[in-house]
Amino acid sequence: NSGAVTIDMIESLSRKSFPPCMQQLHQNLRQNHHLRHGGRLQYGLFLKGIGLSLEDAMRFWKLEFTKIMESDKFEKSYAYNIRYNYGKEGKRANYTPYSCAKIIMSNPPSQGDYHGCVFRHVDPDLLKQRYRNQGIPAESIEMIMNYVEQKHYTLACTHYFEVTHNLKNNNFGLQHPNQYFDESQKVLN
């Protein structure tokens, strides 16, 4: 855990330090004011992992969801899930954020889902376009796409990390989105 992250920090952290899978979930949540179950789990547990409290998580999700639904509906249909992520419902287990391996290998996203690993689950042409729009240099995009082709998804992500943090050869052995976040914070702070 990286200490206390509060609701007002999420937006700027998402741009600077979230791995691409969590950036994608965050952007779609902001855009659609909704995420489906797989996305809420993957993103919700990640946010817990970076240190967002249950109280802030509840406010955060509610703020978005109630842009398209009554607060009643949110309480009935979604609040349980969030408490569940924090082990406050169901088996009261302490749910840990998903590793890259788990995200890459289980529960692939269907139409309308935004969870998963972008390198494994987003159409390569779309990904290329996304990175061109972001201003990632052509040779870096090529390198990322080569890794994708070879199914080295965490290496593709590591290279994305290097490019977006202006680093060379910063292979920290990526295994977990929360590790990506911690490494990014180390570089930026």
User: Which residues are near ligand SF4 by CB under 6 A?
Assistant: 19-21, 100, 103-104, 117-119, 153-154, 157, 177, 180
CA distances, 20 to each of 7, 80, 84, 102, 177 (Å): 20, 27, 25, 16, 9
Nearest approach in angstroms of CB 57 to ligand SF4 is 20
Neighbours of 92 (CB within 10 A): 11
Phi, psi (rounded to 5 degrees) for 170: -110, 60
Residue 172 and residue 43 in contact, taking contact as beta carbons nearer than 8 Å: no
Shortest reach from residue 100's CB to ligand SF4, in Å: 3
| Residue 52 near residue 1 (C-beta atoms within 8 A) | no
Least distance to ligand SF4, CB of residue 180, Å: 5
- Please report how close the Cβ of residue 74 comes to ligand SF4 at its closest, in angstroms: 27
Q: Which is nearer to ligand SF4, 77 or 175 (CB)?
A: 175
Nearest CB to ligand SF4, comparing residues 10 and 117: 117
Dihedral of alpha carbons 53, 49, 157, 166, sign? positive
Nearer of residues 75 and 149 to ligand SF4, judged by Cβ: 149
Nearer residue to ligand SF4 within complex by CB, 18 or 84 = 18
